[in-house]
Structure 1
Amino acid sequence: MSSTLTVGLVIVGDEILSGKRADKHLAKVIELLGARGLSLAWARYVGDDRARITADLRDAFAAAREGAVVFSCGGIGATPDDHTRQSAAQALHRPLLLHPQARELILERMREVAAEQNQPFEPERPDNLHRLNMGVFPEGVEIIPNPYNRIPGFAQRYAPPAGHAVGGGVYFVPGFPVMAWPMIEWVLDTHCAGVGDRRPQSERSVIVFGAMEASLTPLMEGVEAAHPGIKVFSLPSVDHPEWGRHIELGVKGQEPALLAAAYARLLAGLHQFGAKLGPELVR
């Protein structure tokens, strides 16, 4: 069984692409995954365009059927600029229906708000009927509980593919961080428990002066081929305040012995290449 998990992220909203609001989801999702020994494989930003959202969600559902977990943040409300629920239904080729469990949760929230405001509970009032649209999801999905205000998200989950410990799925949460982040944590701890490697990852690197990445590529490929489980990275810079034009060349991994051996091979190759080396870094 594979203990790894491919995780993707879709972030929806014109306000992110226009710069009206700064995205906070990417960094937080990386943090939540890292705490569980997981990492983010890819992320996409998409505006409030139904056709584009649908296209991205088709890709997300295809990845989920192969075992990936994808989080979609934003656009699941019931205002005219919210298109995620409709796009998900279109991508799945399913009708939109009021989810019975979502309906009860939304009604419960209405009761709470009415009591807080010392008002009568009037579920047939037009604005309350409109609020039920927030529970209209593609047929057959599951809900994601929302601890902030009970208005749920939804999920399309799949059985684990052969060789996978958990099944894939696409999980839809609101754009508001105060709601989205605990909902994402709930998904990770409920549906993705037991996967991920919580061992810390380390890096060892060296500053290389006067070399081009293309000329160092064969060495990098050779180090990765000789040390499975280790990744080689190359970070070029043209205007570093201390080192100027240089390349930070290094290796990263979780097994200290493998990391040390790979780094020794990398240094030996750089010396054979005649590269001018600067400081060595350990993270």
Structure 2
Amino acid sequence: MDVGALIIGDELLSGKRQDKHMQALIRILAARGMKLAWVEYLGDSPARIEAALARAFQGGDLVFSFGGIGATPDDHTRACAARALGVELALHPEARAIIEGRFGDEAYPHRINMGVFPAGARLIANPVNQIPGFSCGHVHFVPGFPSMAWPMIESVLDAGYRHLFSDTPDVDLTLVAVDAREGDLIDLMQDFVARYPALRFSSLPSFATAERPMQIEFGFTGPPSLAAIALAEFEKALKARGYTVQPGKGG
């Protein structure tokens, strides 16, 4: 099960705010031996949000959706999720009790809408202001506020996804081939991709500068022991072809 994120808000795409969620999610996952596979940024467009959520519901990944679950007119995520699932919106009874308990008569007519979720949704407790997020399948919806979103994500992971945690997370091992051109090494790269299907392979070329020659950083990402074997064999193959090899940033 891959992990993905939908990060929603016009303010992010306009540059009014800088996204902090992606790096935080990477850290939260890494602490549990997990990795982030993909991220999608979306403005406050109901059509785009609904389409992205439809893909998320159908895709089978573990997905965290940030933002758009408030009570203002530009908060479309709850309604988009319901349409993507083909269900009605409904006031969740537990959410109703929480919101009424927090705001009393001031919960109506607007704040109570923060407890209206797609029918069948499950609540995610909010430790900051108690207004819950919600889950539908493996897609989990949290507010755009970091102080609320991040502990809510941790609680979702710790309560429901411990089977995905790893005590030996993947490593990213790299080396640098000096004066190398990708076009000259495609056959070697193809051979190693076929030989190690359990690993992710990367090739990152850099142009020559006044300080250093042209070079390519190659990497293998996956289980530590397998990645180490692949890197050692790749280094040997490069040297056999006459290339100078240097350690990369990842090992």
TM-score, length of structure 2 as denominator length: 0.92
List alignment gaps of at least 5 residues for structure 2: none
Q: Secondary structure of 1:194's match?
A: helix
2:159 corresponds to 1:198: no
* Match 2:12 to one of 16, 21, 36: 16
- The residue that corresponds to 1:108 in the other structure is 101
- The residue that corresponds to 2:204 in the other structure is 235
- The residue that corresponds to 1:46 in the other structure is 42
- The residue that corresponds to 2:220 in the other structure is 251
Q: Secondary structure of 1:218's match?
A: helix
Q: Secondary structure of 1:268's match?
A: helix
Q: For residues 52 and 227 of structure 1, do their structure 2 counterparts lie closer, same or farther at Cα, with a shift above 3 Å needed?
A: closer
Which AA in structure 2 matches 1:279?
Q
Which AA in structure 1 matches 2:41?
Y
Residue deviations 1:10-67, cap 9 Å, x none? 000000001100000000111111111111111100000101100100001011xx3x
2:67 corresponds to 1:99: no
> Are the aligned partners of 2:9 and 2:42 in contact in 1 as well (CA < 8 Å)?
yes
| Identical counterparts, % of pairs | 46
Q: How far does residue 175 in structure 1 lie from its aligned partner after superposition?
A: 0.3
Q: How many equivalent pairs are there?
A: 250
- The residue that corresponds to 1:34 in the other structure is 30
Q: How far does residue 278 in structure 1 lie from its aligned partner after superposition?
A: 4.4
2:237 corresponds to 1:280: no
* Match 1:83 to one of 68, 76, 100: 76
Which AA in structure 1 matches 2:237?
G
> Are the aligned partners of 1:223 and 1:265 in contact in 2 as well (CA < 8 Å)?
no
Q: Give the Cα–Cα distance (whole angstroms) in 1 for the partners of residues 198 and 156 of structure 2.
A: 28
**Residue correspondence of structure 1 range 132-147 to structure 2 within 5 A:** 132-147=112-127
List alignment gaps of at least 5 residues for structure 1: 111-120, 158-168
- Cα RMSD after superposing both structures: 1.9
2:65 corresponds to 1:72: yes
Q: Give the Cα–Cα distance (whole angstroms) in 2 for the partners of residues 49 and 240 of structure 1.
A: 43
- The residue that corresponds to 1:164 in the other structure is none
TM-score, length of structure 1 as denominator length: 0.82
- The residue that corresponds to 1:211 in the other structure is 180
> Are the aligned partners of 1:75 and 1:84 in contact in 2 as well (CA < 8 Å)?
yes
Q: Give the Cα–Cα distance (whole angstroms) in 2 for the partners of residues 239 and 101 of structure 1.
A: 61
- The residue that corresponds to 1:113 in the other structure is none
